[in-house]
Structures are given as C-alpha cells and as structure tokens.
Chains A and B, each alone.
Chain A
C-alpha cells in the first residue's frame, strides 16, 4: 500500500508513525517495523522520501543493527532493511562522519555470531561496492581482512557473499577501465582506485584456495553454485581487470596441482588456467598455451575423472575463443596439431553429456577462429564432413537432453556452417534436406505430454536457427544461392507450420529464419505473402513475448526491402498494427525504436503511397522526438535508450523523405519540415548524441534539402543545424559522420541555389 500511496503523497504520516515504534515497543514489533521500512525502501524510488525521513530511517536501521541490540531477529531485520535503504543514502555516504558510522556498523555485523546476520551484512557490502565504489578507499583494507576470513572459514552462504564482493569490485573496475578506453586522464568522470591490483598478491591465493573446495558431481547439477565455482568466476573477473599481472601469481598453483593424483587438485589447476585466459595479453599467454595444449588434449581424452574432463574441455574452448583467429600472428592451430585437436574433440563428443557439451563448445570456438578466412579452404576443410557427421550424431543421442548437449551441438553446427568455404559449401547444401526432414518430423501430429512438447518446441527452435544460418551462408554467394533456392518453397512451408506450435522461442526462430529467407529471395518472396501475412500480424500483436514482436518488426523491414512496392497490399494492416504497438503501454519500450525505423523502411518501399499514413505517423514521430530530447537526470541506460529512440525516429524521417523524393506529393512533407529541423536543432543543443545518431541526424538534414529543395531553403537557412551542426559533423573523426555531412552540404547547396 505504501508503494502506491507514498509516491502520490497520500500517506505522509506513515514514516513518522513507523519510526515512533522503534524505541519502546516489544522486540517483535520493532522487527516488524524494520521489515516494513525495508520493504518500503525496496518498493519505492529514492526521490519519493524526503532527506529528513531518509536520515531518520537510516538512524533507526543502523540503531537496530548495532551490536548493542540484543535481539537477533531485530538485528537481522535491520541489516536486511539497510540493504534496501542503501540506494536512499547518497547524501549520507557523501558525509564522512555518517558514512564512517554506517560502514562501521555493517563491518561489525559481518562478525555477528548469527550466520544469517553475517550473510545479510556481506550482502550490504556487495551492494555498497557497486553503489558507492568511489567512497570505499578508507575501508578497503578492513574489508579485505573481513572477506578473507569469511572466504577461508565461514559457512558457504557467507563465504559466497565475500567472494561476490570482490567480483563486484572487478565489475566496477572493468567498467571504469573500459570507459577510459585505454586513456586514463585525471579528468575522467569516475576514478579507478585499482583496488584489485593492490589486493592482488593477497587475493589470488585466497581465490585459488576456494577452487579446491569442489562438490562431487557439481557438473551434473545445472543449478549448482558453490564456493569453488564462485572463486573461479571471480578469478576470471580479476584476470580481466588486471591483465598480465595475474599470470605469474597463478602459474605456480597450476604447475603444482595439474598432475596430482587427487582429482580436486587437477581440476582446480585446470579451472585456474581456463579462468585467466581472458584479460592477459596474447604475448603473455601464447607460450604457456602452446606448452599446455597437448597436455589438455590428453587430459580431455584420458583423465579418469569426468569433472576434470569437463573443465579441460571448457579450458580448450577458452583457448580457442581468446587466442585463435586470423588476427593472431602466431597461430595456436597448426597443420601439425589440427588433426589431433579435431580427433580428440570428436571423440569427446561421445563422452558423457557434460563432457560432450564442452567438446561441442570447444569446437564452436575452434570453428569461429576460421570464420573470417577468405581462402577457399582452411585447416578445417579436410575434416569438414566428419565434423558435421559427428555433430549430427550428437544431436541424435538418447541423452542429448542432458547438460544442454543438444543445444551445444546445434550451436556448434551453426558455427561450422558459418565458416564453410567454396570447397565445403556442397556439404552444407547436403545438410539442408536433412535438417528440413528433422523439422518436418517435429511437426507431425503426435500426442505429447507437456514436458515432451517443451522439448519438441526447443528442438524446432534449434532446427529453425540452423536453417537461418544456412540460408544466410548459402544465400550470400550467387552460385550456392541458385542451387539452394530449390528448397525455398518447402522451407517456407515448414516455417509457417512452426507458427501453429505454442512456443515463443520457436516462433522467434522461425521468424528470424523467414527474415533471412526474404533477404535472400528478394522480390520472389511475394509469393509467400498471402499465406505468411497472418503470422506476421500475429507476431506484431505479441506484446507478451516482446522479443517475438521485435523480431517481427525487423522482418517487416526485410520484407519491405525485398518486395518494394509489392508490399503495398499489406501496408494498411501492417501500419495499423505498428501504430497500435507504438500507442501501447503494455509493449516493452525496446520495441518502439525499431518500429520507427520500420516506418522508414516501408516508406522507402512504397514511396509516395506512404502519403495516407503521414497523418498518423508524423504526429507520433513528432511527440516521440520531443520526448527524446528531454533527457535531464537520465541514467546511462536511459541515455542509451534515448539515443536508440532518436536513431529510430531519424531513420523514419530519412526513409519518408527519401521515399517521397521526386514525387509530385513530396510537398505534403513541407508542413512537417519545421518540426524535423527543430528536432535536429534540439539534438545539436543537447550535446549528448552518440556518433550513430549524429550520422543519421545529419543525413536527415541532407534528405530534407534533397527532397523538398528550394521550398525548404529558407527554413534550412534559419536553423542552427544547417551551419554549426553541419560544420561540426564535417570535422568529425568518424568517417561515416563526415560522409553523411558532405552529402548534406551538397544537398543544401543545391536546394539554396535553385
């Protein structure tokens, strides 16, 4: 109730009333009061509560957490309430005294004899690490001591939070260092305190110690999460944060443990190795990896323990993911070792499901490294047929439903398809009827339990995904496209049948595949439209599974480009639905920018015939444009969304303007020119455009001048965009922005000279 009423200022006395409970009443009432305050803080936005009330809530909460509080239930409720109230404490964390006090109470609570209180206190520290990273310096030494003790000796739920604290610090520092983009200046908005770098010599041994605390059979349990998993994950984040410095600290542990008789030591050493492969430079890792590769291949085949084999397969995948590809000077995969690698991976695909899944994953990254190859043959070519056959065999295994094995096999097959060359394309062509047959079989009317139906739908998604990749690959070159098109009708028939199944994922995948087919077939896609249209409309109406809706919007774009004016008979229906989608409060906001872009796609396709939609589309665009320039106080996510929205709106304007170019109806756009130019000016003034928006925006200016010509010249000359913004774009470092600006300059000169 408070969540509803407080933002509307309808229950102003609530907080005071709750706070007055806190001194004299029985413990259970104080506990309930603190829980209520915690729920209120969880439920409502910080700006709803006045600072005076925030101060009082924090005082009450911190008082409840204090070691002087004898009732553990009250202390626990207070600690949990603080977790929720931390977001309200910006002002208090900026005040040294208040922050010191809060931090002292939280740190004390991590030492409570009650495990639940210790866990809740560590959760507060984790939250503080991300919310108040820049305030942590004075406390980090003490926090290190507390977390180190918890990682070594405390019960698992507490130790997990202690590890999570350092993972969270890594997340912060990775983000900050990425933001610097390699150029640290004193003026950078968020300073990096390099906590991980400083803690490194002491932190690494702690994390390595956790790796030895594996549980039996943890790899068979998909929901498992324990201290060894958390420790390895944290080690991976540490490696990404500090890069090369991690390597000498981890190598002795690996060397000492990798060949020990105890599987836990071998597995921990392998996991440590795999964890540090992302972050350090290839120069630092190459020699080590070359040295380790044949050991790893041997362990994957022969280690007696499945857990070790699982981690070894994963580590091989990481080696291929981060150190193999056309950009590396010294290749990891050579003529000499390729055959052995493939042989081991294919053989391991016949191992138990969790090991086979890792082998498929390793093959995925192995293939990915050859994806950019422009030669007609790669090191994979001689094994291509065997690889495809082995992956198909995996998909047919009785136990392929375990450990995500079937999914991994299809994903790997997709990657192998993506890296096929002229020489291996015929083998991919042979795959088409096979995959189509499998999809056909899933569509045959069978009575299935709901569990079986879920698996069936998952398989349909995977098969449609595989066909999508094949369509993209074979459709991208003329000779294969020509042969491949013989399957188009049958394939489309199968995709349409998938829509009769009730699975959002299968629908998404079928829709993506249809988009790829439309792109590949071009105007011939028109023959499928009468049958496909109802599913297209269904997709656009699917608010609940908004991903399906988003993908369908993209497919409308694909079809517009493929059919051009042949899409006209379907435009009334499509536009009606798109306008409804835009007006809906139910639809996820991420779908709205692509809908605007889609207006542009349709307008480009049907040209002046878009005139009847102008009276609906233009007001929508105008109000969205006005909304998108009001960004004060927006957070990073909102700024990113705003830029996506602006780009969608601008793409719509470009498409509409270009669509009407040369038409007698182009002057219908004249009344809209002032607000388009005003939008461009507002974007320029706001100074928070990214390069993509800048490029699209300056393109719109050119399109407007190009389509409206001399009639718009006075308006263009009056606006800031035609001078200052244009000049700024002409000097941009981004060549795409410059290119668009040069075009705009030319179009404006032409419009003015008439």
Chain B
C-alpha cells in the first residue's frame, strides 16, 4: 500500500530558487547553442549568395 500522507507544499513557492537557477542555466545553454547554429547558418547563406542578390530573390 502506498503511503497515505499525501503532503503538498504548504505556504511554500512551487519553484525553489535552486531549481530556477538550474532551469535558467539550461535555458541559457540552449539559447547559446541555437545562437551559434543560427550564426553559422546565416554566415553560410551570406557567403553563398551572389553579391547583388537578396535571399528573397534567390527563390
């Protein structure tokens, strides 16, 4: 039988600052990774375009 005392947080915020710090770090890491990939993709696009062309014209 599972324990019967189903306690819930009592007068406590649902998220601790420690959890928040962890989550913010993960988010920052994700954003940094995204930013790096984005920058590389952008560079690759710009380098491959003929000088007078814009991306929309190439389609």
Contacts and interface: CB of A to CB of B under 8 A. Distances in A.
Interface of A: 38, 42, 80, 83-84, 119-120, 123, 126, 157, 160-161, 164, 167, 224-225, 229-230, 232-233, 274, 310-311, 314, 317, 321, 358, 361, 364-365, 410-411, 414-415, 461, 465, 468-469, 472, 508-509, 512, 515-516, 519, 547, 551, 554, 557-558, 561, 597, 600-601, 604, 651, 654-655, 658, 661, 699, 702-703, 706, 743, 745-747, 749-750
B11 A512 contact: no
Given A411-B16, A658-B37, A80 B1 contact: yes
A706 B44 contact: yes
B56 to A, nearest CB: 10
Given A411-B16, A465-B21, A746-B58, A554 B36 contact: no
Interface string B1-31: 1101111111101001110011011101100
**Contact count band on B:** 20 to 34
Contact of A604 (B2, B10, B29, B36): B36
A561 B18 CA distance: 24
A600 B33 contact: yes
Nearest to B45: A746
B21 A233 contact: no
A84 B44 contact: no
B7 A654 contact: no
A225 B41 contact: no
A563 to B, nearest CB: 13
B45 to A, nearest CB: 6
A27 to B, nearest CB: 19
Contacts of A509: 18, 21
A512 B25 CA distance: 7
Interface string B36-58: 11001100110010000001001
Nearest to B41: A743
Contacts of B58: 746, 749
Contacts of A364: 13, 17
A464 to B, nearest CB: 10
A414 B16 CA distance: 12
Contacts of A410: 17
For chain B, what secondary structure do more than half of its interface residues adopt (helix, strand, loop), or is it mixed? helix
16 contacts: A84-B1, A123-B1, A157-B4, A161-B4, A225-B7, A233-B9, A365-B13, A411-B16, A512-B21, A519-B32, A561-B36, A601-B33, A654-B37, A658-B40, A702-B41, A706-B44
A597 B33 contact: yes
A91 to B, nearest CB: 22
B17 A465 contact: yes
Contacts of B9: 233
Closest 4 CB pairs of A and B: A411-B17, A80-B1, A314-B11, A229-B10
Contacts of B4: 119-120, 123, 157, 161
A357 to B, nearest CB: 10
Contacts of B44: 661, 706, 747
A182 B4 CA distance: 34
A314 B12 CA distance: 8
A554 B29 contact: yes
A123 B28 CA distance: 42
B40 to A, nearest CB: 5
Q: Tell me which of A38, A232, A561 has the highest count of chain B C-beta atoms within 10 A of its own C-beta.
A: A561
Contacts of A123: 1-2, 4
Contacts of A703: 37, 41
Contacts of A120: 1, 4
Nearest to A310: B11
Nearest to A469: B21
A164 B1 contact: no
Given A361-B13, A706-B44, A743-B41, A468 B21 contact: yes
A661 B18 CA distance: 39
Given A83-B1, A224-B10, 8 more contacts: A84-B1, A167-B8, A465-B21, A551-B25, A557-B32, A654-B37, A658-B41, A702-B41
Contacts of A557: 29, 32-33
